[in-house]
Structure formats: structure tokens, C-alpha cells
Structure 1
Amino acid sequence: MTDPGQAPAIRLAKRLAAEVGCSRREAELYIEGGHVSVDGRVVEEPGARVGAQQQVRLASGARAEELPPVTLLLHKPPGFEAGLGLGQTPGEAHASRSRGEAPLALELLRPDSHHVGEGPPVRVLGRHFKNLACHTPLPTEASGLVVYTQDGRVARKLQQDAETLEHECIVQVAGQIADGGLQRLCHGLEFNGRPLPPIKVSWQSEQRLRFALKGIRPGQVPAMCAAVGLSVTALRRLRIGRIALAPLAEGQWRYVLPWERF
């Protein structure tokens, strides 16, 4: 029961704006930028409720700036779903699992799975995991590079260049390839009733093929392999355009660096 003499909790943004003498919008930017702590713990939600006795502090040198949109690269393990559209909320993801559906690859994007590599340091913020869209889907059973972005320019690039952007995949196969099968994989097959353009296909080992193809469609690689007597047992995407999967381990993600382009 609330003490009648105790002031009610208020929104963190309102409290901060009053204490530092800034606008409510500036207060929200400080908070979303990870510059505000409550009782020594960083809080990134402007709507968080704080009591009168709690200590609110703004970090020294903090600037109220709009956060630029980010693009994240994930090494998706097999068994996770990565499809088109905006990521589901945690509640929707839980409902999907309750129905027996595959867990979302989006759930792997967490601060503790961030791969810190080369490039300027980036502060991992909660805002970076919101409103992410995936325009590079992978089958649930496949693994490899998946792109999630908040940046409309990157999303448009991936959509507009879908037919010309090269994808490199390593495909594990079983079975005996038909005579002339490798040549047919490179050129001469159809998919969904339409002739396929020339594709770069080569053997990496006795059971592994490397595909480098543009305008890849769901189910295309397994159908191509089946047409020459092979079945696909595993598929991993190594590259999209000029951006490669390495050095990410399965389940890890990183930020696209400022100078990287697809």
C-alpha cells in the first residue's frame, strides 16, 4: 500500500528534465543514449518510473543526440528462423515457441553475444535491438550470415539489388552426382519453370560444394542439387555482396562498420 505522504513515482524523462533544466525530448535522448543512471544502474527507458528517494544522475559530458540507425550482422545457427519483416516482440516470440515453431534468430541479438572486433568502439544500447528488419532470409535449417537493419537506406539497397547481389554459400551434399552434373549446376538448370542464369559452382571437398549466385530464391539450391542427383544436408551462407561472415562464431553478431558496403 502506498504511503499517503510519499510522492508518487514519475517518468524518468520528466524527472531528468526537471533536474537538469532540459526539454523532455532532450531528456529522452540522454536516457536512450545510455547516459542516465538510477541508483547507480544505467536505465535506457524514458518511461521507467522513479521514486522521489531514488538518485538520478546524468553522465558527465553526455550529449542529447539522435541515435543513428544501426545494421547488425548475425551468424545464425541452424534451427532458428530468420525471415522478412520487423522482428517480433518478446511476447510474440514466446507465443511462437508455445506453438512449437522455431525460435527467432532475432532473439540471439543480445549484448552478451556481441563480437567486439576491429573498428571504432560502439556502445551497445537497448535501442539498437528495436525495430530491426531482416531482408536476407535463410531457411530455418540453414546457418550463416543474416542482416538485420534499422536503416532504411540499407533496407532499400538489399531490396533493390536482390537480383544482382551475390551470395556465397557452402553446401554439404549426399549422394552421387550425375554425369555432367557440375556443369549443369553452373548453367543449364531451371527453377520454378524458368531457366537459371550462369552460376559459379565448384567442389570444395568430396561432399561440399561452393555456390556463388545472384537472385537466390527460397528452395533454389536444394532443387538444383536434386536435379543432378544430390541431396542437401547442410547449407551455410558465407558472404552477401562484399560483406563476409568471418570472424563471427555461431550465435554471435557485430555492427556493420562505417566503411563497409554490400
Structure 2
Amino acid sequence: MSMLVASQAVMRLAKYLAHAGVASRRAAEEIVRAGRVTVGEEVVTDPARDVDGTIAVRVDGNDVAIAEDRVVWMVHKPRGVVSTAKDTHNRPTVVSMVDAPGQRLYPVGRLDAETTGLILLTNDGDLANRLTHPRYEVPKTYVAHLGAFVGEKALRTLREGVELDDGPTLPAEVRQIESGVLQITLREGRKRQVRRMCTAVGHPVQSLERVAFGPLRLGDLKEGRVRRLSPAEVQRLRDAAAPPARAPG
């Protein structure tokens, strides 16, 4: 039985799927192009096709609809937990840490299995896309333990940009909060970026924790614990991921 919300505004199909919690906006576009989505009885391959929720939308034959209750959870991920909804090797996942019956949650960005700290889960694909898309430059802050004092030359390289195999990094905010311990704030999110940056300047990471995501800080949330964000906190996230203002004229 289809679960439609008749009063929805018209929106593009990929955005609809993202709001419904199927995938991020970019991943939803690929799902549509792959011919996996039907609107009514029609297979639709154009992610820009307008829908309004009055005609059944299905992915792989399963009804999807925008959840009336969009939620965001903060998770303090322990080491060894993977940042996916499912894992083929049966490792624990961040999604399994949240008891939210009926809510299809997925991670906002990723932390590698050995990295601990703040990760968000949501059923709001549009918000997830904005929080992780490089265009919006939402900052993420890490504390990296390197085991040895980091000299000024290496710090300057980290701040100005490190040449990696996939191109130079953007400028980062870096300070040594104690000998061999760096606080690093990035506005991009490449795979294992902090670890790769530190290795590139001769200081491999011994342990790594994400302590902030946009305006949110891990605070006193204990490792392995989760909490649902308040409406005010979610709005602060939306504000942080708002589109860049256009120049006048």
C-alpha cells in the first residue's frame, strides 16, 4: 500500500527521493538514471522530473514517500564501528546503534572504522547532501594524536594545503593544542583526509576523533551513546549548510 502525502509541494524526483530517505541527492540521481524508479506505472530516468506525491513513486518496486517526521541523530562512534547502514562483513554499523523503529536512517558522510567521534544519522537526504557537498563548505573538526611534536614547517603545509594523490587540499585551520596533538578543521571531506594529510608531512596519525560537525560539538556525549537533535539544533545545521549568498547585482 502506498504511503503518499497529498499536500506535498512539487519537487524534482531526485530531491523527492532524498527527502524520502532513499539516498543522498547525488546518489538518488544515479538511482533514477539507472531506471530503478517508477512514477505511477512509468519508468522514469530523468532526475529532474517533477513529482508531488499524489502519484505513487517506487524504487525497485518498493513504495517510497517523504517522512513527515524528519530526524537527525548524533552518534559518538566507537573504534571498530563502520559508517554504513549495512556491512557485508557483519561488522557493527553506526545505524545499528540507533533504536529508531520505522525510520530509515543513513550516515551523513563517513568516518573510517578506526576513527572515533561525532557522526550524524538522518532520514533527510537533502540536508545530508548539503552537509557533505563541498560547495557548502560545512566545517568538520578533528583532534589527531600524532605522538611527536609537529614543527612549524609541517603545520604551515597543513594550513596552506597538502599535495595528495587526488590533488591539493584546501586551506585548513590547524593548531597544536599540546605537543603532538593537533586540532584540524576541514571544509572538504575526502576519504581518510586527515590521516593522509598528516602522513604526507611526516606525522602519521596514532588516533583520531571528530569533535565537531558544523555548529555541533560532541560535548559530553559518551563514546557509544546517541541522542536525537532538538529542532533548534537541526535548524542550526540547516543554516550552516545554506547555499552561499549571491553577490548583489
- TM-score class, shorter: 0.5 to 0.7
Q: Normalising by structure 2, what TM-score?
A: 0.62
Secondary structure class of the residue paired with 2:182: strand
Query: Where does residue 241 of structure 1 map in the other structure?
Result: 214
Q: Supply the distance in 1 between the matched residues of 2:71 and 2:126 (Cα, whole angstroms).
A: 11
Query: Where does residue 7 of structure 1 map in the other structure?
Result: none
Query: Where does residue 73 of structure 1 map in the other structure?
Result: 74
Deviation at 1:70, TM superposition (A): 1.3
Contact 2:149 2:180 in 1 (8 A): no
Deviation at 1:176, TM superposition (A): 5.5
Secondary structure class of the residue paired with 1:138: coil
Contact 1:169 1:210 in 2 (8 A): yes
Contact 1:82 1:138 in 2 (8 A): yes
- Matched AA of 2:93: L
Q: Supply the distance in 1 between the matched residues of 2:232 and 2:172 (Cα, whole angstroms).
A: 29
Residue in structure 2 matching 1:195, options 163, 168, 190: 168
Contact 1:80 1:140 in 2 (8 A): yes
Query: Where does residue 98 of structure 2 map in the other structure?
Result: 109
Contact 1:163 1:216 in 2 (8 A): no
Contact 1:162 1:214 in 2 (8 A): no
Q: Supply the distance in 1 between the matched residues of 2:119 and 2:172 (Cα, whole angstroms).
A: 21
Corresponding position: 1:222 with 2:195: yes
Q: Any idea what the Cα deviations from partners look like across 1:65-92, whole Å, max 9, x if unmatched?
A: x851211110001110013xxx23xxxx
Deviation at 1:192, TM superposition (A): 2.3
Contact 1:69 1:151 in 2 (8 A): yes
Corresponding position: 1:166 with 2:139: yes
Q: Normalising by structure 1, what TM-score?
A: 0.59
Contact 1:190 1:196 in 2 (8 A): yes
Q: Supply the distance in 2 between the matched residues of 1:245 and 1:196 (Cα, whole angstroms).
A: 25
Contact 2:149 2:179 in 1 (8 A): no
Q: Supply the distance in 1 between the matched residues of 2:79 and 2:135 (Cα, whole angstroms).
A: 23
Deviation at 1:247, TM superposition (A): 2.4
Query: Where does residue 205 of structure 1 map in the other structure?
Result: 178
Contact 1:191 1:220 in 2 (8 A): no
Aligned length: 170
Deviation at 1:143, TM superposition (A): 0.4
Query: Where does residue 96 of structure 1 map in the other structure?
Result: 89
CA RMSD of aligned residues (A): 2.3
CA 1:152/1:197 → structure 2, altered by over 3 Å: closer, same or farther? closer
Contact 1:178 1:229 in 2 (8 A): no
Secondary structure class of the residue paired with 2:206: strand
Contact 1:73 1:254 in 2 (8 A): yes
Q: Supply the distance in 1 between the matched residues of 2:174 and 2:153 (Cα, whole angstroms).
A: 13
Deviation at 1:162, TM superposition (A): 6.1
Q: Report sequence identity in percent.
A: 26
Could you tell me which runs of 5 or more consecutive residues in structure 1 were left unpaired when the two chains were aligned.
1-24, 26-65, 111-124
Contact 2:109 2:132 in 1 (8 A): no
Deviation at 1:178, TM superposition (A): 5.4
- Matched AA of 1:78: R
Contact 2:164 2:200 in 1 (8 A): no
Secondary structure class of the residue paired with 2:120: strand
Contact 1:163 1:215 in 2 (8 A): no
Deviation at 1:151, TM superposition (A): 1.9
Q: Supply the distance in 1 between the matched residues of 2:104 and 2:221 (Cα, whole angstroms).
A: 23
Alignment of 1:125-204 (within 5 A): 126-127=101-102, 130-160=103-133, 164-175=137-148, 177=150, 180-204=153-177
Q: Any idea what the Cα deviations from partners look like across 1:179-212, whole Å, max 9, x if unmatched?
A: 6111111114212242222111110111210001
Q: Supply the distance in 1 between the matched residues of 2:83 and 2:74 (Cα, whole angstroms).
A: 12
Query: Where does residue 257 of structure 1 map in the other structure?
Result: 230
CA 1:152/1:220 → structure 2, altered by over 3 Å: closer, same or farther? closer
